[in-house]
Amino acid sequence: MRKYALLLGFLLIGTFLHAQTPFYVKVGVGPSIPYGKFEDSDTQELAELVNIGPNYGLTLGHDFSPHFGIALTGTYWTHSVKQAQMTEYLRNRYLPAGYAPLVSELRATAENFRFASAYLSPYYTFELGCRFRVDLRLNGGLLFVKFPGIVGEGRAVFPLDNNTYDLRVSTPQVSSQALMYGVGGSLHYELTPTVKLFVDVDGLRSRPVFDDIPIQATLGPVSLNTARPAFTQTAGTLSARLGVGLFF
């Protein structure tokens, strides 16, 4: 999929270089609000598990006419986890079933959820007065996801001797990629004919598939290696970016 994204990027950049009509570059940053679920027998709302995170974007755009154009956008965003909710998620989805009734305490930590996307957007544009411009976009491209490694530590009773030992459960970071789609809009304010302030709002959605995730659990003298079965994540974000664009 990456080679297709690169090909689309090269084609679009080539179009910009040979264009006789205006093109632009925009850089922005803002918040990203996550949504979606882990598609298991018991679904986990993504927004309940992670916090709102920062979103960074770079856009190259080209106006083919006064009302139509196309843009290529690259974005990157991260979400830190909510520790209490992640602990409960680890207990329900990763802790070996035989250990669950024996646990006296457990706390989980995890890396950030990380997302990157590259998408093309045909758009319709129109002016509002002499300084404002609005773009309405359809987005389609690729989403790259890093599902974080998770570590749970606590105490549990070992059933063979009824003594309490340290408990540790860990999983590695895994990655996936999938097609992505969505809609978006931009509001631009002209400072000069070349420099414009903007607000971009985009809703993006994808369904990356993750293979089995290995789980390593240790309770006192006993270690147990299991795996979480493959699953599909409905990964989505509603993001807003504020920034500056140069229009040529």
Domains of the chain: 2-247 (2.40.160.20)
Measured distance CA(143)–CA(154) in Å, rounded:
35
| Rounded CA separation 1/42 (Å) | 30
Residues 212 and 223: their CA atoms lie apart, in Å, by 19
What pLDDT score does 150 carry?
A: 93
Q: What is the mean pLDDT of the chain?
A: 88
The position carrying tokens 């093309």 is 120
Would you place residue 47 in the very low, low, confident or very high pLDDT band (cuts 50, 70, 90)?
confident
Q: What residues form DSSP beta bridges with 23? A: 62
Residue 15 has pLDDT above 80, yes or no: no
pLDDT of residue 91: 85
Residue 78, pLDDT > 60, answer: yes
Q: Give residue 161's pLDDT.
A: 84
CA 101 to mean position of chain CA atoms: 34
pLDDT reading at 10 higher than 80: no
Lowest mean pLDDT among 63-77, 93-107, 193-207: 93-107
pLDDT tier for residue 39 given thresholds of 50, 70 and 90: low
- pLDDT-based confidence at residue 2 (cuts at 50, 70, 90): low
- Report, as an integer, the average pLDDT of 202-209: 93
pLDDT > 80? residue 19: no
Output the CA–CA distances (angstroms, integers) from residue 222 to 122, 170, 225, in the order listed: 57, 15, 10
- pLDDT of 186 > 50? The answer is yes
CB atoms under 10 Å from CB of 153, counted, come to 14
